[in-house]
Structure 1
């Protein structure tokens, strides 16, 4: 299983997702361009020394990401989706894809995904933080596929 971030804009969110990947043993794909310089100290500060314990793959663009992950099942998390991750059957090699914080993903990315899921939340609010969404999604996916790290 992998987490992929499409053109992330906030260094702190990327750092938190890298830390999540390190703790849960899940690789992270970063699809560029990003909204900050990769050497931004905020990424390392948020990820801390966990960044040394996660496999990170950087891709120059969407096409490069698709070539590198040919045949993988893409599970897009979107505030526009109607299916809950709690009603979805995850597979061990799924890539959990999250869009940029301000705009999600463009239509051609949506079309390339195998399924779209929305984390249930109260109707009065729009969305969760990117790292929080990734944590909830990954937790459910790992639980279903029995890939949870040992205590």
Structure 2
């Protein structure tokens, strides 16, 4: 039996191209994607479609009207990716069904969301470097979560 996939969750994303890339990533790997609104763009924006291409039809997309609605019934343990975390993501023990939460590209997440996370992990960066692109960061951490939980995308027919 294949363990439950990790989930990706985007907190109020504001760059449609990043959201499209994450939609494509989630579709290709069989990972549910949660978009916590409001977004900084129209969710059906043509740039988002362009970034997601024809992969979006296979996406398990779950939209939430607000953080409050999402946090009322999260699908699993919330693991926030943040530059403020002390725990490197490679030292963290991921579990099936974990929700990898990514903040806004422009501002991260507010303190209340940061505090509500069950865990916080960071990608260690060289001194003087602030952060990675949100889609790159998600791909790195999601890859490790998939490896640890031994989740694999379904076989091709």
**TM-score using structure 2 length:** 0.92
Shift of 1:122: 1.1
Gaps of 5+ in 2: 1-5
2:89 to 85, 89, 108: 85
Shift of 1:26: 0.1
1:110 to 101, 107, 114: 114
1:128 to 126, 132, 138: 132
For 2:90 and 2:32, the matched residues in 1 are separated by 22
Which residue is 1:55 aligned to? 60
1:24 and 2:6 are equivalent in the alignment: no
Does the residue aligned with 1:29 lie in a helix, a strand or coil? strand
For 2:57 and 2:35, the matched residues in 1 are separated by 16
Q: Deviations over 1:102-140 (max 9, x none)?
A: 111011101111110001121121100010011001000
For 1:18 and 1:65, the matched residues in 2 are separated by 18
Gaps of 5+ in 1: none
For 1:147 and 1:18, the matched residues in 2 are separated by 18
Shift of 1:67: 2.5
Does the residue aligned with 1:4 lie in a helix, a strand or coil? strand
1:42 and 2:44 are equivalent in the alignment: no
1:144 to 134, 142, 148: 148
Q: Which runs of 4+ in 1 moved over 3 A?
A: none
Shift of 1:33: 0.7
For 1:7 and 1:45, the matched residues in 2 are separated by 20
Does the residue aligned with 1:147 lie in a helix, a strand or coil? coil
User: How many pairs align?
Assistant: 150
For 1:95 and 1:16, the matched residues in 2 are separated by 18
**TM-score using structure 1 length:** 0.95
Aligned CA-pair RMSD:
1.3
1:76 and 2:80 are equivalent in the alignment: yes
